[in-house]
Amino acid sequence: MSIQESELIEEYHCDTCTTSAGPSTLKMETEKRSRAAATPTNKWKAMLMTRKFRRHNFPKLKGKDVTLEYLRSTGFREPILVGLDTNGKTKGLDMVMPAASWTVDNVRNVLGDNMPVTVIDVATQSELEQWTMRSWAEYFNTKNRDRLYNVISLEVSKTTLAQKMQIPHIVRELDWVANFWPSDIKQGCPKVKLFCLMGVAGSFTNFHIDFGGSSVFYHIVSGSKVFYLTDPTPANLEIYKVWSKNPSLVEPCFLGDRFEKPCYKIVLKQGDTLLIPSGWIHCVYTPVDSLVIGGNFLHSLHIPMQLEIIRIEQETGTPIKFRFPSMEKLSWFAVAAYESMDQEKLKALSNIELHGLVELTNYLFLRQQDVRIRKKLDPAEKKAIKQSVPPIAYKFRNGGPSGLSRRLNRMACAILTERGEIVNEAHRLLSPEDFDLDFEPVPISTSSFALTPSATMSDHSSPTLSSTTTAIVATPQVDHENTLHEATMKELSPNTECTLVNSNEAVGGQLLLTPPGGPEDAKIKLAEASANAPISQRRLLKRAAEEQVCSDQGSTSALCSASPRRKLR
């Protein structure tokens, strides 16, 4: 416990004296509590006042100039400041906000006295949940405050207060929730688009990245806010991640000292609106009592950074309540919407958006693969991944969720290739049709078909086919769950040495047995078909071989799996 935190204790109990003198309690005087409250607050302020920050040169635009075309051309890589129109309004942003004369009492009157409010203790940066709008308004209107509290998470989009406001037009254009979440699905719909923030003078919110890498709009109704920000470079994100994973580092240091360069400083005044891109690390100081309206949104211009922040949240163990709600399900809705989009509209997307969709579809595809092949996957996470897939993805006409991912991935890659863009091959999802086979597989009758274990299997050497084997697996049939049902066969000589190739991730479930030096018409020239394909052509499945993965007693097409209907790996 730090000295500052110890000074916030209101009562001391001495357990040692209890046996001889009975219970004893020392109560701190109110004056002392008041001084104690100032100590940690002054600490935050002192940290800020004694450091130098970079002057920013971020774009300062008129509301009417903040368009989708502008953001696509610039990539929305840095914060954007928007002032009031010349007439003092916000019409340029097509935004409706409360008047500057609005107070916390107005908010209380609209939301009601009993509206629950989560309050932040500025000194400890901890949450206090047993507050209501009534108790908060009474505290806010008190001149002599014992401690400093802050409200930063009061979401009001489903209240009557929201009926008096309209978020900026550019946010409405970009927001995945507004554009892709089905209106008939109420359960799980993220409620993050409209927050009412109320902070007293001296409030401070420590460094953070908005959940899920979401972008932010932030409008000052009254008062002022000071932002200290740094860009999400790989080095800065790594510093932030280490800091987040170690609570002992939070209290004694000012994170801004550890970044590559000093933070930028932005001072916002009444009427200003700030747009913050994905991943920017920032803290906020409140110099005077302030009322702010803000909101979070995911969009297609920042997909790679959004995914990176998700990974950081997973690695640092960020509690679910502090993550973007239903983010993975929302991503599936976005993928489904883009896949069904008119081709001309899809081609109108910027390269930034298309590259992002390639990475997003790869991410979602691999998440589905994790459910099938990762034995040590946490059961709760496995359940969450399954529940995140909406019916529209399961019902996709060709391959379910994995097929949907591949389809959009393929479409985006095709457009990028036409434009001469280099696609990150690590994110490309290949399908069987991406490979031209130099023969036409023909189903034939086979005898017993089995792989026998070899003493050198642990060294990734080739397994051998048993003497009864006269076949090669060429093109399996895969259902929407990637379950292998059947495969066409080609004749081979008995005891032919083969390599078992599992290229499911690269070629859509294609499981191959390729005979080195075998008949010319049986060679499957994957490398020649796609020289840049990210495929491991000799991945040996030791376990599959040990279980005698392929067997069929005289059927016209071989059923190949470690056990009947085993999912492909």
Residue 412 confidence (pLDDT) = 97
In tens, the pLDDT along 155-210 reads 999 999 999 999 999 999 999 999 999 999 989 999 999 999 999 999 999 999 99
Superfamily of 60-181+188-312 according to CATH: Cupin (2.60.120.650)
The yes-or-no verdict on residue 30 having pLDDT over 50 is no
| Res. 96 pLDDT band, cuts 50 70 90 | very high
Mean pLDDT, residues 229-233 taken together: 97
Residue 182 has which token pair? Answer: 């089905």
Task: Name the one residue in this structure whose structure tokens are 């006269």.
Answer: 470
Report the pLDDT value the prediction gives residue 378, as an integer from 0 to 100: 84
CA distances to 78, 417, 508 from 202, rounded to whole Å, are: 27, 53, 57
Highest mean pLDDT among 53-62, 85-94, 372-381: 53-62
Closest CA to 152 of 100, 199, 212: 199
pLDDT at residue 501, rounded to an integer: 38
Residue 77 pLDDT > 50, yes or no? yes
| pLDDT at position 227 over 60 | yes
Residue 16, SS3 per DSSP: helix
d(CA 275, CA 40): 30
The more confident residue out of 144 and 28 is: 144
Q: By the 8 A CB rule, do 245 and 309 touch?
A: no
The type of residue at 285 is Y
Q: Mean pLDDT, to the nearest integer, of 447-455?
A: 37
Distance of CA 524 to the CA centre of its chain: 38
Nearest to 240 by CA among 266, 224, 259, 222: 259
Report the 3 state secondary structure along 53-101. CEECCCCEECHHHCCHHHHHHHCCCCCEEECCCCCCCCHHHCCECCCCC
Instruction: Compute how many other C-beta atoms are within 10 angstroms of the C-beta atom of residue 361.
Output: 29
pLDDT of the residue at 251: 63
pLDDT at 144: 87
**Residue 441 predicted with pLDDT over 50:** no
pLDDT at 45: 85
State the DSSP H helix or E strand holding residue 138, giving kind and residue range, or none if neither: helix 133-140
Residue 381 predicted with pLDDT over 80: yes
Count the Cβ atoms, other than its own, within 10 Å of residue 309: 25
Band (19; pLDDT cuts 50, 70, 90): low
User: Long-range CB contacts (< 8 A, 24+ apart) of 173-177?
Assistant: 173/68, 174/68, 174/71, 174/215, 174/297, 174/299, 174/300, 174/301, 175/297, 175/298, 175/299, 176/297, 176/298, 176/299, 176/300, 176/330, 176/331, 176/333, 176/334, 177/297, 177/298, 177/330
Summarize pLDDT for 130-146 with one digit per residue, the tens.
Answer: 899 999 999 999 988 88
Considering only CA atoms, which of 363, 364, 362 is closest in space to residue 390? Answer: 364
Pick from 230-239, 313-322, 353-362: least confident: 313-322
pLDDT tier at 567 (50, 70, 90 boundaries)?
Answer: very low
Rg from Cα positions in the chain: 30
Residue 24 has pLDDT above 50, yes or no: yes
- Residues near 541 by beta carbon (within 8 Å), at least 6 away in sequence: 500, 502, 549, 569
CA distances from 137 to 57, 421, 562 (A): 37, 55, 65
Q: How confident is the model at residue 125 (pLDDT cuts 50, 70, 90)?
A: confident
Give the residue-averaged pLDDT of 421-426.
94
Residue 457 has pLDDT above 80, yes or no: no
228-256 in b/e burial notation, b at 16+ Cβ within 10 A? bbbbbeeebbebbbebbeeeeeeeeebbb
Q: Yes or no: say if 532 and 525 are a contact pair by the CB < 8 Å rule.
A: no
Q: Which pLDDT value is given to residue 433? A: 58
In this model, does residue 470 exceed pLDDT 70?
A: no
**Token pair of 36, please?**
């104690």
* Averaged pLDDT of the chain: 76
Please report the pLDDT score of residue 440 as a whole number: 47
3-state DSSP call for residue 374? coil
What is the reported pLDDT for 431? 66
Mean pLDDT over residues 440-465, rounded? 39
At 370 the pLDDT is: 87
pLDDT class of 404 with cuts at 50, 70, 90 = very high
Provide the Cα torsion 298, 302, 307, 309; round to 10°: -80
pLDDT at 492: 40
Q: pLDDT-based confidence at 310, cuts 50/70/90?
A: very high
Determine the pLDDT at residue 38: 37
Q: Where are the domains of the chain?
A: 3-42, 60-181+188-312, 328-429, 434-546
Q: Tell me the C-alpha distance between 90 and 102, whole Å.
A: 16
Is the predicted pLDDT of residue 459 greater than 90, yes or no?
no
Out of 10-24, 141-155, 160-174, 258-272, least confident range: 10-24
User: What pLDDT is stored for residue 17 in this prediction?
Assistant: 57
Long-range contacts, 381-384 (Cβ 8 Å, 24+): 384/328
